[in-house]
Each structure stands twice: as C-alpha cells, then as structure tokens.
Amino acid sequence: MPTIAALPGHAAVVGFLLELSHDYVLMRRDRGDIGLTFLDYFTALMRSKIGSASARRDILLAGMKVKGEEAVRMGIMDSAVHNSEESMFEAAVRPGEQLVKRKWNGEVYAEIIAGLVRSSFS
C-alpha cells in the first residue's frame, strides 16, 4: 500500500532516509531542514528517489540542508505549503483517503515497489 510521510520539522540522517522511503512526502514550509552525510549504501536510495544529479550532488557531497519549499523544487518532497503541524497532517490524510478509495491490491503494489527497489540496488 502507498505510504505518506508528514514532516513537522527536521529530518536529518535516518529521519531523512525514512522520509525517502515513502511514496508521498509533505513538509511544513516554515520549519525544519532535511539533509545528512551518507554512508555508501544510502546512495542507491538517493538515486532512486532524487532524479536530479545536481540535487544529489548538493545533498551528498556538500551536505546541504534543504527547507521544505526548496525540497519541492528539487523534486524531493511532494508538498511544503503547510504552516502548522495540524494543516500538514490534515493534508497528509487527504491523499491517503483518496488512495484508499482506489482499493489497492497490496500484493501487486508490493511487487512493483520491490522491483523498483531491487533495480535501484543493482
């Protein structure tokens, strides 16, 4: 099933890695940074989730910390227009409700995700 992450503040190191593990990600625009220095095996996930080579360079090599609106521009976050934790969590619930209405076949979705992950780590 699709997963949604709602980030109320900073997502550094493992928090950032967990954020990248979700299908949809929302973040407050006025608070928090994302970023970390990476171990070798994190880069496969980064390649699979961050399409821009320049964004990966800035995050991986420069240790850049990124605020919500910039993360959206970089293609890392899906949304960062939220001014409070409440509005962010409400916004995270809406796509979840829409996804539930689609009556996902969990086995098929899991198979697709597993294939994407396997190809990222090959």
pLDDT bracket for residue 12 (50, 70, 90): low
Q: Which residue has the higher pLDDT, 93 or 41?
A: 93
* 72 CB-side CA count, 13 A: 12
CA angle 58, 36, 77 (to 5 degrees): 70
Give pLDDT, residue 37: 58
Mean pLDDT estimate for the chain: 81
Q: What is the pLDDT of residue 78?
A: 86
Fold of 4-87+94-120: 2-enoyl-CoA Hydratase; Chain A, domain 1 (3.90.226)
Q: What is the pLDDT of residues 43-80, one digit of tens each?
A: 777 888 888 888 888 887 787 888 888 888 888 888 88
Domain-by-domain residue ranges, the chain?
A: 4-87+94-120
